[in-house]
Amino acid sequence: MELRDKKILVVGLGKTGWATARHLKNIGGRVKVTESRTSPELQEKSEWLRQEGIEVEIGQHSEEFSQDCDLVIPCPGVPPESLPLKIARASGKPVWSEIEVAYRLSPTRKILAVTGTNGKTTTTALLGSLLNKAGWSAVVCGNIGNPFIGELERLSEATWVVLEVSSFQLEYIHQFTPEVGILLNITPDHLDRYANLEEYARVKFRLFSRQTKSQWAILNQDDPFCCRLAEQIDSRTIFFGFTPRRDNFWYEAGSIWTGFSEARKEVCRVEGVKLIGTGNLQNMMAVAAVSVVLKIGRRVVEETLRDFQPLPHRMEEVAEINGVRFVNDSKSTNADSVRKALEAFPRKSVVLIMGGKDKGFSFSELRPIVGEKTKALILLGETARKIAQELEKSGIPMVFAPTLEEAVKLGYQEASRGETILLSPGCSSFDMFTDYKERGDVFKKTVQTLLQAVRG
């Protein structure tokens, strides 16, 4: 579809909606934006867009505003039952995600896309660092914070786009396809949006739906969905995991190894890295696999892993007070991310802070590891009672906290020297905070306040 002079409706005025509306207006689209929420920030953004000749409605999705469009572009998170999408489906109008639009407009087809339930942002950032250290032209974008469409002016035919992709973005792709696609894992998440885990997994696998035999799919061999659904992929498939296997990548004795295309070979040493936990080991194995596919040398891979600084709110060490460590894993928004965080610590050494907004999945699978790794649970938010009921049989003492600040103080009272207070909520933040970043920042600020008080 030629977008010049087309009537385009953008649904949502977050970062993606803002970047999409402005770019499409600049290339000659007849753009309007509808946003169901309202706030001073949204009012200000809508005024800016109106000054640029873009029609905007906020505080509602009206039927009149949403009709008579050639194309509808929903931002990530817009639910399928949203009025503009219902109208588009009823009238047979095309619905594209922002990454679909950006892909069609992009001058490059060198796309390295990362999806999965956990680890997407860290892996995407690692891959961006890898390509930069190799001296390649690369732009990191997508669900990581800066939309793909907002980076188009920086791209050339030689640029690699390192793209973090969410399931929401994959719902409305049609031609989009990466040269290299990575699926890190599939665990229960967003079950308030998808009917079941199978549906969620199949949306994730749309990443590979248009790949050809010359392209690459990199998958987690330890994930049941990845192994089963990989049979439906037409591209060249390789795996990573913790068990040595022919034509895969695995971790063993401080190194990442491969049997890919040749005899057993050490890809790189994993020494001096600041990333901790089994989840990050899987992320690094995926990066090692990409390095071999793209023929990037061992020295560059090892430098990338060694120099990489953990991203905020992802197993981030905040401080140590009287021998008690505080770790901020606020990005943990599902049960599997909690499990992977706990795996990084010794037995009975963690005071775990959990809780937040319910996303529709169970926490009962965490009973064994919570029983093994934690000495106490501090619970807060909308899911506090649910978590307590589902983890009751773990036998771990539980305390309820009205606020995160109080949870930190209670945690410090429970912890002893050599132990860790871990914020790994396993839930979204929207019951108490605007996002996981605000939640993590409140945790860090509270820890710093406690540190100052202890120092006197």
**Residue-level pLDDT at 34:** 98
Q: Are residues 139 and 90 in the same domain?
A: no
> Would residue 272 be called left, alpha or beta, if left means φ above 0 and alpha means ψ between -120 and 50 degrees?
left
- Could you give the number of structural domains in the chain? 3
Kindly report the length of the chain: 456
Q: What's the pLDDT score for residue 247? A: 72
pLDDT at 379: 98
Q: CB burial class (10 A; 0-12, 13-18, 19+) of residue 306? A: middle
Q: Can you give the pLDDT of all 456 residues of the chain as single tens digits?
A: 789 999 999 999 999 999 999 999 999 999 999 999 999 999 999 999 999 999 999 999 999 999 999 999 999 989 999 999 999 999 999 999 999 999 999 999 999 999 999 999 999 999 999 999 999 999 999 999 999 999 999 999 999 999 999 999 999 999 999 999 999 999 989 888 999 999 999 999 999 999 999 999 999 999 999 999 999 999 999 999 998 877 799 999 999 999 877 778 999 999 899 998 899 999 999 999 999 999 999 999 999 999 999 899 999 999 999 999 999 999 999 999 999 999 999 999 999 999 999 999 999 999 999 999 999 999 999 999 999 999 998 999 999 999 999 999 999 999 999 999 999 999 999 999 989 999 999 999 999 999 999 987
Residues 50 and 114 in one domain: no
pLDDT at 41: 93
Residues 396 and 249 in one domain: no
Among candidate residues 74, 94, 114, the one where a domain is terminated? 94
The domain boundary, picked from 65, 94, 123, lies at 94
Residue 2 domain flag: no
Kindly report the CATH number assigned to the domain that includes residue 167: 3.40.1190.10
Measure CA of the first residue to CA of the last residue in the chain; give whole Å: 66
pLDDT of 246: 72
**Domain ranges, residue 326:** 316-455
Same domain, 283 and 334: no
Contacts 24+ apart (CB under 8 A), 144-147: 144/120, 145/15, 146/15, 146/19, 147/15, 147/16, 147/19, 147/20, 147/98, 147/102
What is the C-alpha separation between 423 and 364, in angstroms, rounded?
19
Q: Which two tokens stand for residue 57?
A: 């409605």
- Say what the pLDDT of residue 318 is: 96
> Do 140 and 243 fall within a single domain?
yes
For residue 48, what are the CA distances in angstroms to 21, 41, 219?
A: 11, 11, 43
Question: Does residue 281 share a domain with residue 371?
Answer: no
Contacts 24+ apart (CB under 8 A), 130-136: 130/287, 130/290, 130/291, 130/296, 130/300, 130/301, 130/304, 131/160, 131/162, 131/296, 133/300, 133/303, 133/304, 133/307, 134/296, 134/297, 134/300, 136/160
Cα–Cα distance list, 200 to 180, 193, 372 (Å): 21, 9, 30
Q: Domain holding 69: CATH number?
A: 3.40.50.720
Same domain as 75, residue 53: yes
Same-domain status, 259 and 345:
no
- Record the pTM: 0.91
Q: What pLDDT, on the 0 to 100 scale, is given for residue 203?
A: 96
DSSP H helical segments within 134-191, as ranges?
167-170
Looking at the fold, whether 72 and 140 belong to one and the same domain comes out as no
pLDDT at residue 50, rounded to an integer: 97
Is 415 domain-assigned? yes
Is residue 384 assigned to a domain? yes
Instruction: Tell whether 86 and 118 lie within a shared domain.
Output: no
Assess if residue 1 is contained within a domain.
no
Does residue 21 fall inside a structural domain?
A: yes
Residue 51 structure tokens? 């000054």
In this structure, the answer to whether residues 343 and 416 fall within a common structural domain is yes
Q: What's the CATH number where 337 sits?
A: 3.90.190.20
Domain end, chosen from 289, 307, 325, is at 307
